[in-house]
Amino acid sequence: MANSLLFMLNKLINHMNFILRFFVPVAFIIFMLISCEVDPCEGLSCDNGVCDAISGDCICTRGYQTNPDGICTIQWTTKFSGTYAVSDSCTGPNVGTTTYNAAITAVDEATLSLSNFGNTGQTVPAVHTNSINFEINWASNDTIFSGTGVLVDTFLRISYMINDTTNHRIDTCTATYTKM
């Protein structure tokens, strides 16, 4: 009886060893296959940007935005370049509304050049702050130009101040640029 009990116990241990030797490696391989993560950036070239390792989306460098394929190829300034009809509404010494034409050109991927800004005949630089906004902060002789602009649908809205430091006059204006 003791021999048959030992025989059965030995057979059970051999069977358990077989199960452990077979199933532990199989379970390990399955675990490794399931836990492997795919790199969302593998094979993706963002051109003028870097790939976000979590989302796999391109994060563009300043002055660029994504094309329909999600690659950073579009210069931010291209959507602003053109000739515009401008309606300018000001408060201060030069109160009122004026209309005039102006042009916006791309200087580089992050800088615009606004000609005839504020109907002054001056050309003023504007610098990229995000995908639809820019900032103006420029001085010429005794005049300081400052403000912000935003692309809204098909037109630009620029809120700005012109500070004449010689005559101590400040005009606060809102300009609406409509592409011609």
Tell me the per-residue pLDDT of 24-64, one tens digit each, with 9 for 90 and over.
666 666 666 666 678 889 989 999 999 999 999 999 998 88
Minimum mean pLDDT range among 18-32, 68-82, 137-151: 18-32
User: Quick one: tokens of 125?
Assistant: 């630089």
Distance CA 40, CA 115 (A): 44
The model's pLDDT over 101-139, given as tens digits with 9 standing for 90+, comes to: 999 999 998 899 999 999 999 999 999 888 788 999 999
Distance CA 24, CA 172 (A): 76
Residue 2, helix vs strand vs coil: helix
pTM attached to this predicted model: 0.68
Q: Is the dihedral of CA 125, 129, 133, 138 positive or negative?
A: negative
Identify which has the larger pLDDT, 49 or 65. 49
pLDDT at 10 over 80: no
User: Quick one: tokens of 149?
Assistant: 């602009």
pLDDT score, position 34? 67
pLDDT score, position 165? 92
| CA 134 from centre of chain | 13
